[in-house]
Amino acid sequence: MKSASLVDRYLARLIAVPLIASLVIAAMLLLLEKMLRLFDFVAEEGGPVSVVWRMLANLIPEYLSLGIPIGLMLGILLAFRRLATSSELDVLLACGFSYRRLLRVPYIFAIVAALVNLAIVGFLQPYSRYAYEGLRYELRTGALGASIKVGEFTKLGKNMTVRIERSQEGGRQLSGIFVMAQGSDGKELAVTAEHGRFMATDDPNTIIFRLKNGTLVHDAPNFPVPRVLAFESHDLPIDLPKEEAFRQRGGREELTIPELVKSSRNPAEKKDRAKSQAEFHFRVTEVATMFLLPLLAVALAVPPKRSTSALGVFLSIVMIVTYYKVNEYAEALGGRGHISPIIALWTPFILFAALIWWMYRTIATVPGGQPIGALERQFAKLGGFVRRWFSRSNRRVVAP
């Protein structure tokens, strides 16, 4: 019993390190790729840099839901690969530990990871996705308070244009100001000022542009000549454009699992009901797949004897990504109503589970069984051919 607990703790350490490392690396790569696009988007919209970090924070749950299965798979696979290549796995099997017994610790990790992923895709990700779309909307409509671009003519509302030469102290001190406003009755107002600043009022739809040391030119159809006024201080009220409120949370990707169940039973809209059912089964199969990963990892982790091939690592990632893409296509197909979402989503899952079970049974019960033995042999031949080709190329380069 004591030796069994020691083996379990040893396995847990072997799994935990690559699992955490793979999860962090996968999440960071996805975030870095998205960060570049967000910086370009925010720069084009003229928004503050701080909004990039808020948008990235709302993307973390989505990327974690992708990174957790890959991290779990690689953590278990690399742990058993280390046991196999160091012959520790042979020793454990000779001591009476079966593959079924050795899978106890991996399945503890799988259950915890599945619960975490269920919380993310079922409850956290819908809210974070809605918050992300809200930030995009606010940035595009200017509701984040993006400053007026220096040196450019900027429209404030329908009938006012402003140009600023210099901006200091984060936009609180403005210099070289030009304002042109037109009224609905044909009146025109042109103002130039040395300095100015925006000031809030009790009305959230109106701000005051306080100008210092400038000239105001007022013209109207009934004025024989424009009126010119020099001033030391002048308050110019500006009506802010009224933006529509951001939509309510309700997209199928923004609904929690209980809300999807409720929406899928709504007889009012058949098309929306099919989309909700497809999204629900997509998330459930995504979580259910977590329980297949330990079997797949063990089947791909053990290379043939006297071999250190890493084909299993590569193949595991290919299989996970391919299955995920097939699931996305099946969800789209079920959401259009062309086929039942249950058939569209669970048929690939059952086929994938059957393939994984066959691979695990081959490695665990067949003496000398190797589920990807044929691929391993072809991969070894390809590797030998590549090494010989490079060797001949090097000899040609070195030869006088």
For residues 370 and 300, the answer to whether their CB atoms sit within 8 Å is no
Reported as a single tens digit per residue, the pLDDT across 219-228 is 888 888 888 8
For residues 192 and 181, the answer to whether their CB atoms sit within 8 Å is no
The token pair at 263 is: 């929406």
> Which pLDDT does position 294 carry in this prediction?
95
For residues 159 and 182, the answer to whether their CB atoms sit within 8 Å is yes
3-class state of residue 31 by DSSP:
helix
> Which pLDDT does position 210 carry in this prediction?
86
Asked whether the whole model's pTM tops 0.85, one would answer no
In angstroms, the CA 200 to CA 383 distance is: 70
Average pLDDT over residues 238-259: 73
Average pLDDT over residues 236-252: 68
- Nearest partner of 337 among 246, 248, 382, 272, judged by Cα: 272
How far is Cα of residue 83 from the mean position of the Cα atoms in its chain? 34
- Provide CB contacts within 8 A for 366, sequence distance 6+: none
- Provide CB contacts within 8 A for 305, sequence distance 6+: none
Give 29's pLDDT tier (boundaries 50, 70, 90): confident
Reported as a single tens digit per residue, the pLDDT across 262-299 is 887 776 666 678 888 899 999 999 999 999 999 999 99
Reported as a single tens digit per residue, the pLDDT across 347-380 is 999 999 999 999 999 888 887 777 876 566 655 5
Reported as a single tens digit per residue, the pLDDT across 77-129 is 999 999 988 889 888 888 888 899 999 999 999 999 999 999 999 999 999 99
Residue 172 reports pLDDT greater than 70: no
DSSP string, 7-26: HHHHHHHHHHHHHHHHHHHH
The token pair at 271 is: 């098309």
Residue 396 reports pLDDT greater than 60: no
The token pair at 278 is: 């497809």
Give 145's pLDDT tier (boundaries 50, 70, 90): very low
3-class state of residue 58 by DSSP:
helix
Between the alpha carbon of residue 201 and those of residues 121, 160, 232, 348, the distances in Å are: 43, 19, 21, 60
Residue 244 reports pLDDT greater than 60: no
Q: Which amino acid is at 343?
A: I
Reported as a single tens digit per residue, the pLDDT across 35-54 is 888 888 777 665 667 788 88
> Which pLDDT does position 146 carry in this prediction?
45
- Choose between 276 and 400: higher pLDDT: 276
Residue written as token pair 């497809």: 278
Average pLDDT over residues 190-207: 76
The token pair at 253 is: 């990707």
The token pair at 74 is: 């690689």
Q: Which of 7-11, 24-28, 212-216 has the lowest mean pLDDT?
A: 24-28
Give 397's pLDDT tier (boundaries 50, 70, 90): very low
For residues 257 and 123, the answer to whether their CB atoms sit within 8 Å is yes
